[in-house]
Amino acid sequence: MTVRLDTLPNGLRVVTEDMPALQSAAIGLWIDAGGRHERLEQNGIAHFLEHMAFKGTARRSALQIAEEIEDVGGYINAYTSREMTAYYARVLQQDVALALDILGDIVLNPAFASDEIEVERGVILQEIGQSLDTPDDIIFDWLQEAAYPSQAMGRTILGPAERVSSFQRDDLSRFVAENYGPGQMILSAAGAVDHDEIMRQAEALFGHLQPVSQIAIEPARFAGGERREIKSLEQVHMALAFESPGYRDEDIYTAQIFASAMGGGMSSRLFQELREKRGLCYTVFAQAGAYADTGMTTIYAGTSEADIRSLAEVTASELARAGRDISEQEVARARAQMKAGLLMGLESPSSRAERLARLVSIWNRVPALEETVARVDAVSRDAVAAFARNLAGGELAVAFYGQAADAPSRADLQERLVA
């Protein structure tokens, strides 16, 4: 398998990896335009724009977009995150050019017809409703808000309903003009793909784009904080967050190994302590999320009203304990999980295309697998223990949702974290 990376004269990067055993491919555009690129009054526009891309272009109606890709058995989708918007497709080998043509069309030529804007507004308001009906989804929005108060980083991707209700065509066009430049775009493909053909087509589709200055994002400031939403639910949902390394930080793998050892699998400390020993929860996990300039390690678990205090306190105590006694074996296991996960992920064209885009976005190159493996292997037990102590000593963001009156306060938890 060969990775190839080229840059068009206007700055658009094209990265591909041929996987000779496959008869299908994943292809997409990853664009440096997400929630963090929105001004306050734009909150939700990146995501609204992502929706509008599918609602018709100069050449295709919304129905034609859907039909063209689905006529050949492919599918097309998109997502918006805090730092990126991605548009991607999965198709059979012979349909890669079609997929790229459609992706280019919907990203570059959205029609923004006013009737379609009105319809899509309704869809997004329903999406907001659906998110509010999913406790283990919405709680992460509240956690983010508590962690980064009054900052672009703390705002939701979907945006508040009031803003979504007001966006117009000009708001969309402006966000595109500010953010959708070729220097902000990475075209990534993996599977049964031909790099030279994709380059030729990329040149034809995107070669005319004029560079756009990258909007400076407001540096994130993890403040910590608390959000407690009382509602009559079956479970009390809990989410915790701590400041942790960004993508480019030396110790990003230390953070990931820590998260894995704490809540990455069945052998992890929180799974063992909360679920296996105490039967307090069904779902518990920890993750080390990363952004350009910072990161956030998050923990989630849900339990009954009677047990929320105990769940939260044990979680905090386990985090404190990890700083003292995390073992060589636990760190070795987390390393093995990361490396195997990496290898298995590479066997899927979708996750491979996504990984290529992320690596190019972070490093402007694709580090060899061995390089990543060496960095994972270099993480020591002592580094993880030191990381854990530092994390537990930092500010905490916490969100509770449900019958949460008995949940401990943030101050209580902070105390336990350093006890």
Which residues are catalytic, by number?
50
Separation between Cα atoms, residue 118 and residue 167, nearest integer Å: 9
Separation between Cα atoms, residue 357 and residue 14, nearest integer Å: 9
Of 181, 177, 190, the closest CA to residue 31 belongs to 181
The helix/strand/coil state of 351 is helix
Tokens 């998260």 -> residue: 259
Instruction: Beginning with the edge strand found earlier in the chain, give each strand of the sheet holding 225-230 in spatial order.
Output: 225-230, 396-402, 236-244, 295-303, 284-290
* CB closer to its own copies, 97 vs 332: 332
Within 8 A by CB and 6+ apart from 367, the residues are 359
* CB closer to its own copies, 306 vs 419: 306
* CB closer to its own copies, 163 vs 237: 237
* CB closer to its own copies, 224 vs 264: 264
Kindly state the smallest distance separating residue 150's Cβ from its own copies, in Å: 25
* CB closer to its own copies, 76 vs 398: 76
Kindly state the smallest distance separating residue 411's Cβ from its own copies, in Å: 27
* CB closer to its own copies, 167 vs 271: 271
Kindly state the smallest distance separating residue 266's Cβ from its own copies, in Å: 4
Separation between Cα atoms, residue 86 and residue 133, nearest integer Å: 25
* CB closer to its own copies, 210 vs 370: 370
Kindly state the smallest distance separating residue 23's Cβ from its own copies, in Å: 6
> How crowded is residue 250: how many other Cβ atoms within 10 Å of its Cβ?
10
Strand partners, 238: 301, 400
The helix/strand/coil state of 348 is coil
Output the CA torsion sign for 202, 205, 210, 214.
Answer: negative
* CB closer to its own copies, 94 vs 364: 94
Kindly state the smallest distance separating residue 341's Cβ from its own copies, in Å: 7
Our separate counts of H helices and E strands in the chain read: 16, 11
Q: Dump the DSSP string for 10-42.
A: TS-EEEEEE-TT-SEEEEEEEES-SGGGS-GGG
Kindly state the smallest distance separating residue 314's Cβ from its own copies, in Å: 14
Q: Which tokens hold the place of 409?
A: 């306060």
Tokens 């069945």 -> residue: 266
Kindly state the smallest distance separating residue 174's Cβ from its own copies, in Å: 23
Kindly state the smallest distance separating residue 181's Cβ from its own copies, in Å: 28
Within 8 A by CB and 6+ apart from 5, the residues are 13, 14, 15, 360, 365, 366
Q: Dump the DSSP string for 274-306.
A: IIIIT---S-EEEEEEE-SS-EEEEEEEEE-GG
Strand partners, 110: 57
